[in-house]
Amino acid sequence: MTQNIGSDPDLAPPHASNLVESLRAFGYDTATALADLADNSLFHQASKLIVHFHWAGEGSAIAIADNGNGMDEVTLINAMRVGSRNPCETRDPNDFGRFGLGLKTASFSQCRRVTVFTKRKGGVQLVRCWDLDFISETNEWRLLRTPSPLAAKLADKLSDPKQGTVVVWEKIDRLTAGNDTENDTDEDAFLRHAELVSAHFAAVFHRMMTGRNAVGFFLNEKLISPWDPFLADEAATQRLPVEKLPYKGHIIEVAPFVLPHLSKLDAELHRRAAGLRGWNAHQGFYIYRNRRLLVAGDWLGLKGWRQEEHYKLARIRVDLPNALDHEWEIDVTKSRARPPEKLRRELVRIGECARSVAKRIYSHRGSKLVPAEGEERVFLWEQMVKHNQVFYRINRDHPLMKSVRGSCADLPKLSALLRLIEETIPVPLITITDREKPDLTIGPFETTKETEIFEVMRQVFTSLCSSGLSKSDALLRLSHFEPFPRFPQLLQAIKEREEL
Ligand SMILES: Nc1ncnc2c1ncn2[C@@H]1O[C@H](COP(=O)(O)OP(=O)(O)OP(=O)(O)O)[C@@H](O)[C@H]1O
Ligand SMILES: [Mg+2]
């Protein structure tokens, strides 16, 4: 119970006509606003989503239609309310929503009249409309029930006969104020916006566009194809180890990718992979919430890193659950996220590794740094997660380990030694040093003489040969063992020495 209320609190509800104008300034653009509406459709089981740009000069309209579950009348009226839900509520883990605002704030940011048509399976179509001019005139939050003829026509054209929702924006003053139906330049600008929306959707929803339950996204009848920032289907794309970071009872999955060198991609693929903002601006972390992209490449202010040419091949996927919205400062527009302080160190560590591999690939034009298609990287140390606890184990299947174990006369002693190493690895000390003096931490063999690295590589190579592999297969396998792919010149030296 609130304390010290006093006897007669004054009632001061928001002034409707003023507030609606302020609600227009949440920082959306047309594409992010439409994506916020698409979130609602996706959570409500839509398998098809159509964005429609209708050109008519100042009388233009934009609509978005889905074949999802639709709403009954009570739900529709509540959905139209500004603040339809409390952001502190626990949401269904698949829900893209948080604030109870998106439908309204996204729409108001682009238009002065938004009409929602909705129908549940077996039900009738229901309609409600906010008209900002009407709210301004009456200074009341009164929902209209009658659509304009144009909105009704668009709903008729786009709505699924069985079920679904159509949202129509009219009086789209921010896009078409002063536009003339006869003016080709105005029309071109309007259609360019449509293309930007298509490209934005291709990125934001790319993971929903493929796979078994793929959703079809259309822009005016044209299917939008996904934009995969990681070129995951390309053999030359490097996948660094996936890490699962526990945070407040949830797991954040981080999957770093290093994209192929320019010389490994055909021109069209290279151009497309550049994305809307170009290669440089698309490097860094990609933050997904429920597999929906929020941030498409940013170093998140970590260590003051800036987007620089030689790191442009590093793209790191981060998957968040919606239960951590508050910690990651997810905003209403769903287009920004900020990592919590406690995770920044981990992200710096992962980012540093991806950046260093990206830099090597960028500067080793054409070098074979990449394992063959379908082959997994092999690491000596493995990160394990169990009951939300992270610990590290030495990979017993590493060939050098196998070979030593095979020839060891006292196996129990060796096993005891390995366990001891694993249990006493000074993680806190390493972490503290890394945090306090990040520039002092070096990567594997970073300051080692090449002859020494070569000797270690040769030992692993010999172990692989003695496990029964041919020399050329052993060399191929060797190129999968971290950190050897970082030293293509030494792999080449072994190849030459063995006359392969
Ligand atoms: N296309 C749709 N199909 C079914 N229900 C919808 C649709 N669009 C909106 N709704 C309903 O309207 C409600 C309000 O949507 P709105 O986008 O304003 O808020 P939210 O999704 O709850 O949170 P956020 O502000 O984070 O988007 C939703 O919770 C949902 O129940
Ligand atoms: Mg929403």
Q: Is residue 370's pLDDT more than 50? A: no
The finding on whether 284 has its CB within 6 A of some atom of ligand 1 is no
Percent of the chain surpassing pLDDT 90: 65
Residue-by-residue DSSP string for 86-101: -TTSPPPTT----SS-
Distance 117 CA to ligand 1 centre (A): 13
Beta-bridge partner residues of 117: 127, 166
Q: Determine the average pLDDT of the residues in 62-82.
A: 97
pLDDT digits (tens, 9 = 90+) for 407-438: 899 999 999 999 999 999 988 888 777 666 65
Tokens of 383: 């990160």
Q: Is residue 386's pLDDT more than 50? A: yes
What is the pLDDT confidence band of residue 406, given thresholds at 50, 70 and 90?
confident
Q: Determine the average pLDDT of the residues in 139-153.
A: 97
Contact 35, 103 (CB under 8 A): no
**CB atoms closer than 10 angstroms to residue 11:** 4
What is the pLDDT confidence band of residue 256, given thresholds at 50, 70 and 90?
very high
Domains defined for the chain, CATH in brackets: 16-223 (3.30.565.10), 238-363 (3.30.230), 381-497 (no CATH)
CA of 105, nearest ligand number: 1
What is the pLDDT confidence band of residue 439, given thresholds at 50, 70 and 90?
low
* β 250-258/314-320 pair status: antiparallel
Largest CA distance in the chain: 94
Least confident of 255-259, 296-300, 457-461: 457-461
Contact 89, 201 (CB under 8 A): no
CA of 91, nearest ligand number: 1
Please tell me the predicted confidence (pLDDT) of residue 368: 39
Please tell me the predicted confidence (pLDDT) of residue 366: 37
Ramachandran angles phi, psi of 472, nearest 5°: -70, -35
pLDDT digits (tens, 9 = 90+) for 487-499: 888 888 898 888 8
Distance 95 CA to ligand 2 centre (A): 9
Distance 485 CA to ligand 1 centre (A): 48
Please tell me the predicted confidence (pLDDT) of residue 1: 52
CA of 332, nearest ligand number: 1
Distance (Å, whole) CA 375 – CA 425: 29
**CB atoms closer than 10 angstroms to residue 83:** 10
Distance 297 CA to ligand 1 centre (A): 27
Atom of ligand 1 nearest to the CA of 41: 1
Distance 82 CA to ligand 2 centre (A): 11
Contact 174, 132 (CB under 8 A): no
Question: Which protein residues have a CB closer than 5 Å to ligand 2 (ion)?
Answer: 40, 97, 102
Please tell me the predicted confidence (pLDDT) of residue 488: 82
Please tell me the predicted confidence (pLDDT) of residue 3: 62
Distance 338 CA to ligand 2 centre (A): 20
Please tell me the predicted confidence (pLDDT) of residue 314: 97
Expressed in angstroms, the distance from the first to the final Cα of the chain is 80
The residue whose CA is least distant from atom 6 of ligand 1 is 40
Mutate to test the pocket of ligand 1, among 37, 67, 103, 119 (most ligand atoms within 8 A of CB): 103
Angle 489-490-495 (CA atoms, 0-180°, nearest 5)? 100
- Give 448's contacts (C-beta < 8 A, 6+ positions apart): none
Q: Give counts: helices (H), strands (E), the chain.
A: 16, 15
Q: Determine the average pLDDT of the residues in 273-298.
A: 96
Please tell me the predicted confidence (pLDDT) of residue 482: 82
Q: Determine the average pLDDT of the residues in 115-139.
A: 97
The finding on whether 104 has its CB within 6 A of some atom of ligand 1 is yes
Please tell me the predicted confidence (pLDDT) of residue 369: 39
The finding on whether 91 has its CB within 6 A of some atom of ligand 1 is no
